[in-house]
Amino acid sequence: MTVTSKHATLLTPGPIETDDDVLLSMGHPSESHVGPSFARVFGETLTMLRRMLQTSNPDSQPFILAGSGTLGFDQVAANLLEPGDRALVLNCGYWGDAFAECLRIYRIEVDELQAPTVGSQPPVSDIERMLRATKYKAITITHTDTSTGVLSDVKSIAALVHTVSPDTLIIVDGVCSIGCEDLRFDEWQLDIVLGASQKALGAPAGLSIVMASSLAMQIFQQRQTPPGAYYASWKRWVPVMCSYESEPSPKYFATPPCHLIRALHVSLTKILSTSWEERLQQHEVASSKVKDAVADLGLEQICVEPSSQAHSMTAFWLPSGLRSENVLPFLARKGVILARGPQKEIAGQYIRFAHMGISATDSRRTDVDKGISALKEVLTDLRLG
């Protein structure tokens, strides 16, 4: 018997279904956050994060902090950028809005390039025009905007930036893409990828995850003003993270969340035990299955362009007359939890169905099939009823 043997199937875009071994790892007795046992676990977790993000540059710097993924925005705004710096935010929805708002709080000058419609993304020609017109210290890209399931082409955008504005730092919000979309830190020459523990990384919520490039760390070291936050200050965290990864005795700033880090350690160990190509393919298969089912039901995705559709989740319009707050409880009664969507203009009119992590990769699980069946049954009942 496992503690998780009986429960509704969670197919929301974070938190996601979590492996029993990951959950049970949190039953570990409390331990000293500076003792050798936890130090080894935290160090290995930081090192695995490098592999997860495909960076082999020893000067890349991983950070794992107690916090929600959103704390990653503050980390960027408070450490990498300085008041008065200019940033270009590529805005595909809710999370683009959020990143822009965060940067402005730290007195960054923000230009937003809005996607022309909900479910689309800013045209490459517009990005190029903006980059040629203004010198930006940084550009932010939401890899998958979890609000609508729009997937940005980070590889192409990064290549464009390197050609047109090579000094501009490339910052990727990978909260809903790390671990389920192709994302190559070194090869694409990214400067920041930020994430969270509770999506395709397969651990519980509560960890803010950041990878900074060698260049990003140089820019940080050379900043003229002190970091704009205390708890999120890399000045404080860099020696701590380095010590856990490479020294026998860890340094201290604030107490790390030992249990969550143990959980992430178990999850990353499992994830990294299969090939990256296989994992991507598993997510593509699960994604296609859900997207095909949605099409079979005569429903349209919020993101209509197939090449811009995330592989981690599917966001789709409900049949006219139905609202998410009415549909979701019927799904819950069938033991399937899907999610409403936070995108303001269309809130209530759509639903999000996630298919990432073990729900996509563990062939013994039937989560996705169960979700599809429940969706079909509920929509059929509601249409007839």
Q: Are 180 and 311 in contact (CB under 8 A)?
A: yes
Q: Which is nearer to a second copy, 68 or 281 (CB)?
A: 68
Here the contacts of 69-72 (C-beta below 8 Å, separation 24 or greater) are 69/175, 69/194, 69/195, 69/196, 69/198, 69/208, 69/209, 70/98, 70/102, 70/208, 71/208, 71/232, 72/173, 72/175, 72/194, 72/195, 72/196, 72/208, 72/209, 72/210
**Which residue lies nearer to a second copy by CB, 198 or 314?**
198
Sites for a second copy among residues 191-220 (CB under 8 A) = 196, 198, 204-208
Which residue, 120 or 198, has its beta carbon nearer to a second copy? 198
Could you tell me the smallest distance in angstroms from the CB atom of residue 298 to a second copy? 27
Nearer to a second copy, 27 or 58 (CB): 27
CA 136 – CA 286 distance, rounded (Å):
38
Binding flag, residue 68, a second copy (CB under 8 A) = yes
Tell me if 16 contacts a second copy by CB under 8 A.
yes
Applying CB under 8 A, among 122, 149, 256, 371 the residue interacting with a second copy is 256
127/265 with CB nearer a second copy: 265
Q: Which residues of 53-63 are buried (b: 16+ CB within 10 A; e: fewer)?
A: bbbeeeebbbb
Residue choice 219, 337, 360, 378 for contact with a second copy (CB under 8 A): 337
Q: Which is nearer to a second copy, 91 or 308 (CB)?
A: 91
Asked if 271 interacts with a second copy (CB under 8 A), we say: no
Dump the DSSP string for 305-331: -GGGB-SSEEEEEPPTT--HHHHHHHH
Residues 6+ apart with CB under 8 A from 182: 155, 280
Using rule CB under 8 A, residue 252 touches a second copy:
yes
When binding is defined by CB under 8 A, the residue of 32, 246, 326, 380 that contacts a second copy is 32
Contact between 134 and a second copy (CB under 8 A)? Answer: no
Q: Is 86 annotated as a binding residue?
A: no
**Counting contacts by CB under 8 A, is residue 318 touching a second copy?**
no
Interface map 103-132 toward a second copy (x if CB under 8 A): --xx--------------------------
**Nearest alpha carbon to residue 41 among 258, 237, 200, 197:** 258
**Contact region for a second copy (CB under 8 A) — 8-16, 112-120, 209-217, 371-379?**
8-16
Q: Say whether residue 26 binds a second copy (CB under 8 A).
A: yes
Residue 255 interacts with a second copy (CB under 8 A): yes or no: yes
By CB under 8 A, the residues from 70 to 109 that bind a second copy are 70-71, 73-74, 77-78, 98, 101-102, 105-106
Handedness of CA 252, 61, 206, 343 (dihedral sign): positive
Using CB under 8 A, pick the residue from 126, 155, 182, 253 that binds a second copy. 253
Look at phi and psi of residue 179 and say left if phi exceeds 0, alpha if psi is from -120 to 50, else beta: left
Instruction: Please name the residue that has the structure tokens 């209530």.
Output: 348
Alpha helices in 198-337 (DSSP H): 214-221, 234-246, 258-271, 276-296, 324-333
Residue 100 DSSP SS3:
helix
335 binding a second copy? (CB under 8 A): no
307 binds a second copy (CB under 8 A): no
- CA 21 to CA 206: how far, in whole Å? 18
* 139 phi, psi to nearest 5 deg: -125, 140
Decide whether 21 or 300 has the Cβ nearer to a second copy: 21
Amino acid 133 reads A
Mark the binding-site residues for substrate, compressed into ranges.
Answer: 352
Q: Which residues in this chain contact a second copy in the complex, by CB under 8 A? A: 3-4, 7-8, 10, 12, 14-18, 23-24, 26-35, 65-71, 73-74, 77-78, 98, 101-102, 105-106, 196, 198, 204-208, 226-233, 252-260, 332, 337, 339-340, 342
